[in-house]
Copies of this chain bind each other. A is one copy, B any other.
C-alpha cells in the first residue's frame, strides 16, 4: 500500500471511530431538556476534521496504546474544542454565523442554548476523561484543564479579544496562539501517549516539542487559509480576522513568510520525533497534513 493511501485509510478509520465515540458519549437527542441536548449534539457531531482526536490516537500509537484506551482522551479534546467553537462564535465574542459549513450553534439554537451547550460540553469532556481506563485519569483531567483554562485556550481567547486593532510583534502573536490553539493540541498528543508505555523524560520532552511545533503550524496555516481559502472548503467565514482588524500571521509576517514559517515548523516537528523511528509515523503524517491542508 502506498504510504499516503495508508494514512488516508488510517485517518478515515479513526475519524469514523471518534464520531461513534462522541455519539455514544453525548446525551440522546430526546433527553430532556431536549433543546440543550440537541444543541450539544449539533455543536459536536457531523463535521470537523477531528485533528485533535487524530493527534491523540497518533500519540497512542507512539507508545503502543490500544485505540480503545485512547478513545476517552481523544473524545475529551474534541469535546473541549467543540465547546470552544460554540462559545467563540457567540455575538459577544467573535460573532460568527457559519461553522463547519452549517449555521453556528447560537444561530441554530439561540444564544442561551449555545452558551449552556458549551458549558455542558466542557463538563462532558471531564466526565469522559475522568472515567478513562488510562493510568491516573485524575492527572489527565488536570492536564486537560490546564490546556483549556486561563493558562491555555480560554486565556488565549481573552488575549485575542484584547488584541483587536493592536499591532502585535510576531513573538506576541505566537504567545497568544500557543495558548489559544497550541495548548489543546499539545494536550491531545500528550494524553494519547499516556495511554501506552511510560515515556522517559527525554522522550516526553521530544514529544512535546513535536506537539508545540505542530500546534503552531496548524495556526499559521489557519491564518493563511483565512486569506487564501474558500468558505465552501473551510465551512466557516473567511477573511474575518482581517475584517475584524485582528493581528494574524499573514498581517504580521506577510503571506510568503507565513508559508516559510509553516515549512520550518513542519521540519521542527519532524526532527523532534526522529528518535522514535517508525513509531512516530502517524504523528509525522499528521504534521505533513496539518502543514499542507487546504481546509
Contact = CB atoms under 8 A, between A and B. Distances in A.
Contact of A126 (B83, B144, B151, B158): B144
B124 A122 contact: no
Interface in A114-154: 115-116, 118-120, 122-127, 129-132, 136-146, 148-152, 154
Interface string A39-51: 0100000000000
B130 A139 contact: yes
A32 to B, nearest CB: 7
Of listed A119, A137, A150, A152, residue having the most chain B CB within 10 A: A150
Contacts of A144: 126, 130
Contact of A115 (B40, B87, B113, B151): B87
Contact of A130 (B83, B124, B142): B142
Interface residues of A, number: 54
A85 interface: no
Contacts of A100: none
A155 interface: yes
A209 B83 CA distance: 33
Given A27-B150, A27-B151, A36-B150, A142 B127 contact: yes
A149 B131 contact: no
A263 interface: no
B126 A145 contact: yes
A63 B141 CA distance: 25
A162 B35 contact: yes
Contacts of A145: 123-127, 130
A57 to B, nearest CB: 20
A73 to B, nearest CB: 12
A116 B154 contact: yes
Interface string A93-127: 10000000000000000011101101110111111
A90 interface: yes
Contacts of A37: 150
A159 interface: yes
A120 B149 contact: yes
A248 interface: no
A120 B150 contact: yes
B92 A33 contact: no
Interface string A2-39: 00000000000000000000000001000111011100
Interface string A192-214: 00000000000000000000000
A157 interface: yes
13 contacts: A33-B158, A33-B162, A92-B112, A93-B112, A119-B119, A120-B149, A120-B154, A122-B123, A126-B142, A127-B141, A129-B138, A130-B143, A137-B141
